[in-house]
Structure 1
């Protein structure tokens, strides 16, 4: 068998060796590159693992803080499934809504145990140890088929609010009683003084008649004070009926026209052709209009003009009484509707208080625009009935 190595050309061997060397170099370079990539990827993986560990630790810490927050939160937190099943309760919710537990149906518990109130989202939970007044608001959990119910205990704040309301009511009653006592004291003392004169045997008949008339006048003034007080207190207990505003305003104007004529006061009357119906008490409504007109007369000088207008705007009727009299300062206007506040010596201080009390009860409001020396404008707004034929 012939020797193949002996027969190979040295040049071919040299080329083959060169090719082998080049291939070995390429393999070495490729291995080096691969080793560098492995080292780079290993470094990146370690960085990613480190970031992931930090994120997990941060999320674990956040989860612990949230769990601690829910445990310490004074408000109740209830997690609900889509069908209303209780999924989770924090300790406050467990205490407030006991014996509610996980797995129960919230809607059934709500209908069986809690009582609704006129205020939205406020419920009463009757319990043997005392009823709770709870605020409960639901909200959806983003991207989850669950809801969160937040429960706040308003029992203490509600009790404080009720006590404050009671104290304000008692304070108002005390102020009213003090004001009424002040109003009654002067005419009563005067009446007693005149009555003392009547007991004198040497009193002339003419003087006896004079003192008798003055005593009667003071006693009638006392009766007026008491009647006004009763009207103010019981103003919201009167029956209501549809009342024609145009007819009532016309009657009030006719009633006071003779007194205006004596002082040469001109009444500028502007009334709509169609009747305007409101829900009120006719007798008291007439008294309200007469009160405003009487005040305008007292504030006006002789031979001046008083305005009385009525119009309907949408679902409201507006009645305005204006005068060009002395007007009022801002300080007087601030107290104008207070019971027993008056700037007149013979005033009772209840007229405008009664006006506002009645107008408010009829779901309206009253406002005044005035300035010293520029007259005053009183405006009453009252809801007008939609059906003018339903009288």
Structure 2
């Protein structure tokens, strides 16, 4: 017979074994669940690796097929990776070399638009983005040669179209001053004329001939699109030449033409005659619209990469709806105007990789400007 104490101990052992069995079953279930979760995670990881490999393969194929050149630089500006287009452009030996050295070897110059030009005349647009502060950059070189040639072709076509319109307009515009000059010349030999009348007719003939000269000059300047030889020149000398050429007309119009020297003497690359013609057209435009006592000021403002040569006047101003038309060929608000003066200004500015602009308030005058890139210092 077992004692009560022994029976109690057996009961405790049975309870302990039962608890142990329950715990073991739970641990087994947890282990099985963990194994299943591990298998699921392994499947997901394998799927993720497969997706990454597919994405990497797609990116590799895309880079191989991409016509643009892709270059990867490290934080020391050394080329670490290139796609086939970049290898064809830069050469396979470019890998491992610094980008500034490769750029100097492959490209002849950088134009005013920041595009790289090869020795063969190909034009490449350069874009870059940072990968990471500690990693480097990606460069994208896109061949825009065809696009630039197409732009030039379209511009040439537009000028040829305009020249047809210009020929018809000029035939009418030239006829009037030419007829006037012929009429006054025919009267100069009349015996009954006094000396004062002869001088008056001579001045009329001179005025008509100056008008003809201005028409022909604008026509030639517009026809060639403002292009000519480009050399380093001083803005001070450019303005001084312009003011000398305008001195007679300014005096005859009882106007005042001044120049603000505060910007100092700046250097640009350009054609002195073409730019002087453009500035003269801006001043003449102001004189044409201000009957008497015109106040015209030429000033220069400099930004980081450009300068603005500005002609300000105290004229009647231009209505807001007409501001976008003033640089168009043959647009004029004057009965005797040809509409070529300001078109020449825009053509000259664009030929110098710049632009022409206008600001005006009716009743307070106008500002016309030629924006030109600065010569690198």
TM range (shorter): 0.5 to 0.7
Instruction: Give the structure 2 partner of residue 386 of structure 1.
Output: none
Instruction: Give the structure 2 partner of residue 82 of structure 1.
Output: 75
1:288/1:98 CA distance change after superposition, 3 Å:
closer
> How many angstroms apart in 2 are the aligned matches of 1:162 and 1:314?
29
Instruction: Give the structure 1 partner of residue 139 of structure 2.
Output: 149
Shift of 1:115: 2.1
> How many angstroms apart in 2 are the aligned matches of 1:135 and 1:351?
34
Shift of 1:180: 2.2
> How many angstroms apart in 1 are the aligned matches of 2:112 and 2:296?
39
Alignment equivalent of 1:58, drawn from 51, 56, 64: 51
Query: Which whole-Å deviations, capped at 9, do the CAs of 1:262-314 have from their partners, x for residues lacking one?
Result: xxxxx9x9x99xx9548899x9989976764564439xxxxxxx775879999
1:142/1:39 CA distance change after superposition, 3 Å:
same
Shift of 1:35: 1.0
Instruction: Give the structure 2 partner of residue 168 of structure 1.
Output: 158
> How many angstroms apart in 2 are the aligned matches of 1:234 and 1:252?
21
TM-score (norm: length of structure 1): 0.60
Shift of 1:193: 9.4
Instruction: Give the structure 2 partner of residue 110 of structure 1.
Output: 103
Shift of 1:228: 1.4
> How many angstroms apart in 1 are the aligned matches of 2:249 and 2:207?
23
1:192/1:221 CA distance change after superposition, 3 Å:
same
1:378/1:36 CA distance change after superposition, 3 Å:
same
TM-score (norm: length of structure 2): 0.62
Residue 48 (1) aligns with residue 41 (2): yes
Shift of 1:152: 0.9
DSSP-derived class of the 1:297 partner: coil
Matches within 5 A, 1:364-379: 367-370=359-362, 378-379=365-366
DSSP-derived class of the 2:291 partner: helix
> How many angstroms apart in 2 are the aligned matches of 1:287 and 1:36?
94
DSSP-derived class of the 2:314 partner: strand
In the alignment, structure 1 segments of 5+ residues that lack a partner are 1-7, 199-203, 207-211, 244-248, 258-266, 299-305, 371-375, 384-391
| 8 A contact 1:231–1:354 mirrored in 2 | no
Which of 29-38 and 169-178 deviates more? 169-178
The root-mean-square deviation of aligned C-alpha atoms, in Å, is 5.5
DSSP-derived class of the 1:141 partner: strand
Alignment equivalent of 2:127, drawn from 137, 140, 146: 137
Matches within 5 A, 1:320-335: 320-322=313-315
Instruction: Give the structure 2 partner of residue 388 of structure 1.
Output: none
Matches within 5 A, 1:1-391: 10-100=3-93, 102-119=95-112, 121-126=114-119, 130-142=120-132, 145-186=135-176, 188=178, 223-229=209-215, 232=218, 241=237, 255-256=252-253, 276-277=260-261, 292=286, 295-297=289-291, 319-322=312-315, 347-349=336-338, 353=342, 367-370=359-362, 378-380=365-367
> How many angstroms apart in 2 are the aligned matches of 1:146 and 1:313?
40
In the alignment, structure 2 segments of 5+ residues that lack a partner are 193-197, 241-245, 266-271, 303-308, 371-377
Instruction: Give the structure 2 partner of residue 209 of structure 1.
Output: none
